[in-house]
Amino acid sequence: MGSTSTSGPLDSHPPMSHSLDRSPDFGDIYDFVFPLEPSDKAKLIKLHAVRDASATTQVLPPLLKQGFEYAGPIFNRRPGPRLLRGDGDEDREPAIVPVDYSFLRSSDLLVQACRPPMDDHHSGTRKRVPRSYTDLEQILIDGLRPYIEYCARDKVCVASQFRPLLRGDFANRREMEFHLNGCGAAYRRLNAHNGRGPRDADVGNRTALFLLRLEEAWPGGPGYVCAFGLDGLCTYVWSYRLGKDFQHLLARPGFAMAELEVRAVPEYPLTMDWCRDWKIELLFVHEFGSQSRVRRVARG
């Protein structure tokens, strides 16, 4: 089955040498991780300080069962001087710089359990995921564009070709604005694109979840899985529940949107059992293939 992504590499690179032999039969999994933004220019790089550090581990078990082997992280860091808050301006983003990702094979899989900073630079909100502006990061963002038209911490717009899948009571999830404060990133305003414009959300403490799995992140490239909610808590819960209760969504390429009903988090949780009964409702599942299948799960 082939994905609908048509993104390709922005640059070519010489082959990277490896000291260990790599099996041609099983692909490797790399988690694509975003660093925490340093608070000042003198702060040292801390490789362990990454966003949603534990979320990726929640989706790994079902992927490993598919035959992949875990290879380690790919640090989404910009070579050379780091970009800090305030670098660049609203009209011009930093130049894209190449990194050597030639070691990635078509049998490999990139896994990202973090909200992609597709439009953070233009959103105006201070709650941003810092970009590296590397060509690899840009390729993955381009791969998401056919499915998510706009994505920042405060607002997400589903791409036009998938908006008809949001029917009935869920039609106004085609464009969503989210609260920036508090735990769970609940809906603030919703817009069904029916001419009425955004309206205050009156659906309780609910928020959106997304999952994209591409067979090829670019033509001939590795597969790509991106799972995220609008804040760290929801991304973590979604990743955990994908690994436990929604493994079938990771079994084949596709694009899915779901909705989470956020509840109170225990003050001192020992395990993740507290979120097993948090309601997750699939709004649609679009499976890629020679004959794409669409499951409209939304009611109303």
Q: What is the largest CA-CA distance in the chain?
A: 60
Query: Quick check: is 68 in a domain?
Result: yes
- SS3 category, 64: helix
Of 99, 160, 137, which Cα lies nearest the Cα of 226? 137
Long-range pairs, 246-249, Cβ under 8 A, ≥24:
246/280, 247/62, 249/211, 249/213, 249/285
> 128 CB contacts (<8 Å, ≥6 apart)?
85, 117, 120, 121, 152, 153
Query: Quick check: is 92 in a domain?
Result: no
Query: Quick check: is 13 in a domain?
Result: no
What pLDDT sits at residue 155? 96
Residue 159 structural domain? 28-38+45-84+97-264+271-296
Amino acid at 236: Y
Amino acid at 185: A
- SS3 category, 130: coil
Cβ–Cβ under 8 Å, residues 214 and 197: no
Domain count along the chain? 1
In the numeric block, the tokens 């804040």 are attached to 231
- Flag whether pLDDT at 172 surpasses 70: yes
Of 167, 200, 207, which Cα lies nearest the Cα of 295? 167
DSSP annotation string for 226-251: EEEESSHHHHHHHHHHHHHT-GGGGS
What pLDDT sits at residue 83? 59
Query: Quick check: is 282 in a domain?
Result: yes
> How many CB atoms neighbour CB 44 within 10 A?
6
Residue, of 69 and 49, whose pLDDT is higher = 69
Summarize pLDDT for 234-278 with one digit per residue, the tens. 999 999 999 999 999 999 999 999 999 999 999 999 999 999 999
Summarize pLDDT for 89-103 with one digit per residue, the tens. 455 678 899 999 999
**10 — pLDDT class (breaks 50, 70, 90):** very low
Query: Quick check: is 139 in a domain?
Result: yes
Summarize pLDDT for 115-167 with one digit per residue, the tens. 999 998 888 787 888 889 999 999 999 999 999 999 999 999 999 999 999 99
pTM: 0.84
Secondary element (H or E) of residue 139: helix 135-144
The whole-angstrom separation of Cα 104 and Cα 107 is 8
Amino acid at 222: P
The tokens for 139 are: 């390729």
Query: Quick check: is 219 in a domain?
Result: yes
- Flag whether pLDDT at 233 surpasses 80: yes
For 58, counting Cβ atoms within 10 Å of its Cβ (0-12 exposed, 13-18 middle, 19+ buried), the class is buried
Query: Quick check: is 235 in a domain?
Result: yes
CA dihedral 131, 134, 140, 146 (to 10 degrees): 80
Query: Quick check: is 19 in a domain?
Result: no
